[in-house]
Amino acid sequence: AQRVTQPEKLLSVFKGAPVELKCNYSYSGSPELFWYVQYSRQRLQLLLRHISRESIKGFTADLNKGETSFHLKKPFAQEEDSAMYYCALSPTGGYQKVTFGTGTKLQVIP
Amino acid sequence: EAQVTQNPRYLITVTGKKLTVTCSQNMNHEYMSWYRQDPGLGLRQIYYSMNVEVTDKGDVPEGYKVSRKEKRNFPLILESPSPNQTSLYFCASALSAGNNEQFFGPGTRLTVL
């Protein structure tokens, strides 16, 4: 069974401080990992996915297969980063069955 | 505008009264999916569809039905709703089941009394 764990329900950081949102996964095969973000009153949207290795809005995430982690990082938090963040996993080769974590609310304090 | 639409956006109903939540996308996407979002539980997949006439169960399919007769529509059916199905429901679509970005609808808030 595939599982995604986001241990923090709420993460509060000051503006300009580094951010790390944790995501750990459990999957027997080779997974595809994603980060989705939901800003207040907006739809859930893709932030980044590990296969593209992009940096979006200053966020990066590296898939660590040894530690089965896909932590989301940003060196300097901005107020507009305040949102709900979800880590998600699907089997390699397709969405098929998708498993989301429980989400972490990021609060950036001015 | 390319988007995923859901109707209704809000619904209050009573136990046992059959209901359908519609989902439609205008992006010619092959893959569609339904999720429910509950506090502390995140998003859980109910059903997904890889293409027309192809559907499969997600993690929490009990009490729900879906159909995919047309590419653009993927309705969620609750034959006999119960209070534990009170939740926020999201529909999503993706170009294909091949690591493509999922586009989400605005959500439907369902209350079953």
pLDDT-based confidence at B20, cuts 50/70/90? Answer: very high
Confidence category of residue B34, pLDDT binned at 50, 70, 90: very high
Q: How confident is the model at residue B98, as a pLDDT? A: 66
A47-51, A80-84, B8-12, B90-94: range with lowest mean pLDDT: A47-51
CA distance B103 to A45: 7
Question: d(Cα A45, Cα A23) in Å, to the nearest integer?
Answer: 17
Q: Is the pLDDT of residue B66 over 70?
A: yes
**Chain A residues close to B58, C-beta within 8 Å:** 97-98
Q: Do A98 and B45 touch (CB under 8 A)?
A: yes
Choice between A53 and A89, residue whose per-residue pLDDT is larger = A89
Is residue A89 within 8 A of residue B33, CB to CB? The reply is no
Q: What is the mean pLDDT of chain A?
A: 91
pLDDT higher than 70, residue A95:
no
Calculate the alpha carbon distances from B1 to A93, B25, B72 in Å. 29, 10, 14
By Cβ distance, the residue of A36, A49, A96 closest to B97 is A96
| CB-CB contact of B88 with B108 (8 Å) | yes
Over residues B62-81, the mean pLDDT reads: 97
pLDDT at A89 > cutoff 80: yes
A9-52 pLDDT tens trace? 999 999 999 999 999 999 888 888 999 999 998 999 999 988 77
Closest A-chain CA to B103: A45
Mean pLDDT calculated for residue range B75-82: 97
* For residues B90-101, average pLDDT: 83
Q: Cα separations (Å) of B36 from B44, B51, B59, B90, B110?
A: 5, 21, 10, 6, 10
SS3 content of chain A, % helix, strand, coil (to 5): 5, 50, 50
Number of continuous H segments (helices) and E segments (strands) in chain B: 0, 11
Q: Find the residue in A nearest to B106 (Cα).
A: A43
Whether A95 and B97 lie within 8 Å, measured CB to CB: yes
Average pLDDT score over chain B: 94
Of the candidates B8, B12, B1, B17, which has an alpha carbon nearest to the alpha carbon of residue B91? B8
CA distance B42 to chain A (A): 4
Extract the tokens encoding A53. 């290795």
Best of A95, A97, A105 to substitute, by most chain B Cβ atoms within 10 angstroms, is A95
Residue A90: predicted pLDDT: 87
Q: How close is the nearest chain B Cα to the Cα of A4, in Å?
A: 10
Quote the percentage of chain A above a pLDDT of 90. 67
Burial tier of B109 (Cβ tally within 10 Å: 0-12, 13-18, 19+): middle
Query: Where is pLDDT greater, at A22 or A54?
Result: A22
- Please count the residues of chain B: 113
Chain-chain contact of A93 with B56 (C-beta, under 8 angstroms): no
Mean pLDDT in residue range B64-68: 97
Q: Which of A36, A49, A98 sits opposite B33 (nearest CB)?
A: A98
Q: What is the pLDDT of residue B69?
A: 97
